[in-house]
Amino acid sequence: MATLESTEKPVSRKNYNLLFSLTLVGLLVALCAILSIATNTFATGNNIANLLRQGSMIAVLSIGQTFVIITAGIDLSVGAVVGFATVIIASLLQAGFPVWLAIIATLLVGLAIGVFHGFGIVKMGLPPFIITLATLTSLRGIGLLMTNGATINITHQGLAQFARDSFLGIPNLFWMVVVVAAPAYLLLEHTKWGRYLFAVGSNPEAARLSGVNVSKLIYLAYCVSAVSAAFVGVLLSARLGVGNATQGDGWELQAIASSVIGGTSLFGAVGSVQGPLIGAFILATINNGANLLNVNSFWQRIITGLLIIAIVYFDQLRRRGK
């Protein structure tokens, strides 16, 4: 590969990420501009607030998912964790626990699920795809058993109010994205653990021989993902006022799609926090716009699929350089 060293432009990951993020932002802005012209309902305060609320859930999920994908893993369970978390928090509130305690307990359940994934991968040697697929189906089952298939209503008014309210004109739910994204960004870009996550995703043996505790990092990634998903469960229960184990169906795929659209490589070691966020809101805007334009919702799914293919294809072309 003697020739490459002198011929390739400095493949700067930072600059590249920035460029890619800007392209994505450009796409998002273009989408918004087109929808503002094509409809008179898109550029209204109500609709934008609604779009931000819709996109927030998947955005938080995609951040957690990205941590896992950077280690060259996958977390298929996040949709099920969301549904399960709504059941947990709804049951706890119904049993009379204070809101703060119910939220903490729900997040701890998420943490336990993450630890279990880490255990399955590190100690039992199961592929991430398998262990998280197993939790996907089991958690739905456990949630349905706990509720006997019924929906638990949440009567707590404060929680519902929180989901409806805004702060500085921006919906609270969107602020929750910031609450998750800011520390996630710090962790990934500004700590040694962030560097280790990339190293583990790139070559676990080289990381191990450099003194990195690879097992610990795997636990970390799956815990971030599962706790993020449990947090989304809390947000969803606040927004809809119910706990039901079947909620969040297929959200794992939307989270993975957002992450991949945002430039994360399924082979590991490539990814950021900002990319998946933009990816999630691109998907939300498309769905929102399609609704406003009265496009058949079946078409939305097809458009999303084509978009994933197009964006990832162009991303790979550019990564290859020419």
Partner 1 sequence: MTTETLASTVSAVPILDLRDVEKQYGPVRALKPLTLSFMPGEVHAIVGENGAGKSTLIKVLTGVVKKTSGTMFWRGTEVSLENPADAIAIGINAVHQEVVLCPHLTVAANIFLGDEVLKGGLLRKKEMITRAQAILNDIGFDIPADVQLGSLTIGQQQLVATARASVRGTKFLIFDEPTAYLTRQEADQLFKLIRRLKADGVTIVYISHRMEEVFELADRVSVLRDGNFVGTRNIDETNNAELVTLMINRSLEQIYHKEKVAFGSEVLSTRALTGTGFADIDLTVRQGEIVGLYGLIGAGRSEFALSLFGRNPSTSGEIKWHGKPIAIRDVRTAIDLGIALAPESRRDQGLNLNLPISLNINLPVYDTLQRGLTLNHRGEIDRAEKQIRDLAIKTPSRRSLASSLSGGNQQKIVIGKWLNHGAELFIFDEPTVGVDVGTKAEIYRLFGALLKRGAAIIVISSYLPEVYELADTLHVFRSGKQVGTHTYREKTEEEILALAIGV
Total of chain residues touching partner 1, rule CB under 8 A: 37
**CB–CB of 217/70 below 8 Å?**
no
Report d(CA 94, CA 71) in Å as an integer. Answer: 38
**CB–CB of 303/31 below 8 Å?**
no
Structure token pair of residue 49 = 């607030």
The site string for partner 1 over 197-236 (x = CB under 8 A, - otherwise) reads: -xx--xx-xxxxxxxxx-----------------------
Give how far the C-alpha of residue 210 lies from the chain's centroid of Cα atoms, to the nearest Å. 30
Q: Identify the bridge partners of residue 181 per DSSP, sorted by sequence position.
A: none
The site string for partner 1 over 259-278 (x = CB under 8 A, - otherwise) reads: ----------xx--------
Q: CB of residue 215 vs partner 1: minimum separation in angstroms?
A: 11
Q: Does residue 15 interact with partner 1 by CB under 8 A?
A: yes
**Distance of CA 27 to CAs 102, 190, 285, 295, Å?**
39, 28, 11, 20
Give the residue with the Cβ less far from partner 1, 85 or 218.
218
The site string for partner 1 over 91-130 (x = CB under 8 A, - otherwise) reads: ----------------------------------------
User: Which H, E and C letters describe 261-274, residue by residue?
Assistant: HCCCCCCCCCCCCH
DSSP state of 268: S
Give me the amino acid identity at 246: T
Structure token pair of residue 251 = 């959200």
The site string for partner 1 over 162-191 (x = CB under 8 A, - otherwise) reads: ------------------------x---xx
Tell me which residues in 282-311 interact with partner 1 (CB under 8 A).
Answer: none
Q: CB of residue 9 vs partner 1: minimum separation in angstroms?
A: 7
Residues that bind partner 1 (CB under 8 A): 1-15, 186, 190-192, 194-196, 198-199, 202-203, 205-213, 269-270
